[in-house]
Structure 1
Amino acid sequence: MSDLVLRLKGIEKTYNRGEAGEVQVLRGADLELGRGEVVALVAPSGAGKSTLLHIAGLLDTPTAGSVEISGEAMQGRSDRKRTATRRSEVGFVYQFHHLLPEFTALENVVLPQLANGVGRGAAQARSLDLLDSVGVKDRAEHRPGALSGGEQQRVAFCRAMANAPKLLLADEPTGNLDPETSDRVFAALMALVRETGLSALIATHNLELAARMDRCVHLEAGLLREG
């Protein structure tokens, strides 16, 4: 089994803007993410970090280059196979929580597991354990609208972890929070990541948060560089 959870090789992405012509966002980005490694992705707005994360998580396809998840090449795979891999291997966290407003916090974490074939009892037990691990178990029966911003985002972390993925992709996961709440929520995320031993690629503008991860990569002019 490969020790690499994610390998991006020569990733290019070009968009056709009609009369404005083509815009090349990624120009041959390379990245390797080891098992249990937490990497910060730092880039200015508009540099293409969300595009890179979507390609890494199989939500988008590159114009050129290859994506491997847990040693398995994804290029040329059917939509069904890509969806199955994304559902079982990858968890996503975004700047906005995207929780389903009509369901409770517990139900939001249970639903991805049911979709993945887990029984309701087992799904509820795992969901409560996850919510407890980030300090919001007592809010399990509340809907998202009744939760604070920090609580909403911690529930979103649990939902991303629901199917025990090997890879977590997070796009500015604390970007909507005030500094104090951001620090607490990020600490909860890192504790959850370390406890489960998964790999994570976390996009952030916050250099203090980036310094708390294992290493940092910068996206500049469509390419990734270490440091």
Structure 2
Amino acid sequence: MSKTALNLSGVTKTYNAGTPAEIRVLRGLNLNVAAGEVVAMVAPSGSGKSTLLHIAGLLDTLDEGKVEIAGTDATGMKDKARTLLRRSTVGFVYQFHHLLPEFSASENIELPQRAAGVSASAARARAEELLATVGLSSRADHRPGELSGGEQQRVAFCRALANGPALLLADEPTGNLDPTTSDQVFEALMTLVRKTGMSALIATHNLELAARMDRMVRLEDGVIVEL
């Protein structure tokens, strides 16, 4: 296994290039996340953190630079290859859970596994294991609408980790929660990450939570600054 979960080197991204409305979001950005490391990224709104996360997760392309995930150079990959690499190595968590309302908590976690070819029984067992880790075993058969905001987000974490990705990317995962729930949900996320040994890059405005991760960086003027 690669000792580096994510390597961004010289990443540049510009929107509306060559027009009066040109916006250069990332300016030769460099960032390395080691295997098993949890990195907090703090950044003001509009700084380009979502763009960075989308490039890191192969949801967006860069203009210049290099993206390497778990030892695989994804720069210049065709769409199909990018999709396959993303599906097998990257998990995403957003500020809003985006759970499918017509499915139970367990089913939401089983679905990405089934799409990856996992059997129904194995997918259910994996979902039960993850839900137990975040204290939601009794809520496995409840639909999202029957869960609290904190419970919904914990299910979303489980779904993101269902296929055992090497890298978790999270964009303000507790930003929609009150302080007490935010703390509980963050602890659940860290429990999942530590138990699996995966790496994570977590964007957050919460400096208290950021300080509890392995390392903190700041996205400022299109580059990463170590804190």
TM range (shorter): over 0.9
What is the CA distance between 1:113 and its match in structure 2? 0.2
CA–CA distance in 2 between the matches of 1:55 and 1:19? Answer: 22
CA–CA distance in 1 between the matches of 2:91 and 2:211? Answer: 22
What is the CA distance between 1:21 and its match in structure 2? 2.0
Which residue of structure 2 aligns with residue 143 of structure 1? Answer: 143
CA-to-partner distance for each residue in 1:174-216, whole Å, 9 max, x for gaps? 0000000000000010011011100000000000000000000
Which residue of structure 2 aligns with residue 174 of structure 1? Answer: 174
Confirm or deny that 1:131 pairs with 2:131: yes
Which residue of structure 2 aligns with residue 75 of structure 1? Answer: 75
- TM-score, normalising length: structure 2: 0.98
CA–CA distance in 1 between the matches of 2:17 and 2:186? Answer: 36
CA-to-partner distance for each residue in 1:60-88, whole Å, 9 max, x for gaps? 01111110011111012121111111111
Which residue of structure 1 aligns with residue 204 of structure 2? Answer: 204
Which residue of structure 2 aligns with residue 36 of structure 1? Answer: 36
Which residue of structure 1 aligns with residue 84 of structure 2? Answer: 84
1:130 is aligned with what amino acid?
L
What is the CA distance between 1:17 and its match in structure 2? 7.8
CA–CA distance in 2 between the matches of 1:226 and 1:81? Answer: 32
CA-to-partner distance for each residue in 1:11-69, whole Å, 9 max, x for gaps? 11100189642100101110011010000000000000010000000000111111001
CA–CA distance in 2 between the matches of 1:27 and 1:8? Answer: 12
User: Which runs of structure 2 are paired with 1:83-162 in the superposition (5 Å)?
Assistant: 83-162=83-162
Single out whichever of 19-28 and 68-77 deviates more from structure 2: 19-28
Which residue of structure 2 aligns with residue 26 of structure 1? Answer: 26
CA–CA distance in 2 between the matches of 1:75 and 1:194? Answer: 29
Q: Which runs of 4+ in 1 moved over 6 A?
A: none
What secondary structure does 1:59 align onto? Answer: coil
Query: Which blocks of at least 5 consecutive residues in structure 1 are unaligned?
Result: none
2:48 is aligned with what amino acid?
G
CA-to-partner distance for each residue in 1:141-178, whole Å, 9 max, x for gaps? 11111110000000000000000000000000000000
2:155 is aligned with what amino acid?
V
Which residue of structure 2 aligns with residue 9 of structure 1? Answer: 9
What secondary structure does 1:117 align onto? Answer: coil
CA–CA distance in 2 between the matches of 1:79 and 1:33? Answer: 24
Q: State percent identity of aligned pairs.
A: 68
What is the CA distance between 1:2 and its match in structure 2? 2.5
What secondary structure does 2:173 align onto? Answer: coil
CA–CA distance in 2 between the matches of 1:190 and 1:20? Answer: 44
User: Which runs of structure 2 are paired with 1:187-226 in the superposition (5 Å)?
Assistant: 187-226=187-226
CA–CA distance in 1 between the matches of 2:17 and 2:31? Answer: 27
Which residue of structure 1 aligns with residue 185 of structure 2? Answer: 185
CA–CA distance in 2 between the matches of 1:112 and 1:3? Answer: 26
Which residue of structure 2 aligns with residue 51 of structure 1? Answer: 51
Confirm or deny that 1:61 pairs with 2:79: no
1:102 is aligned with what amino acid?
E
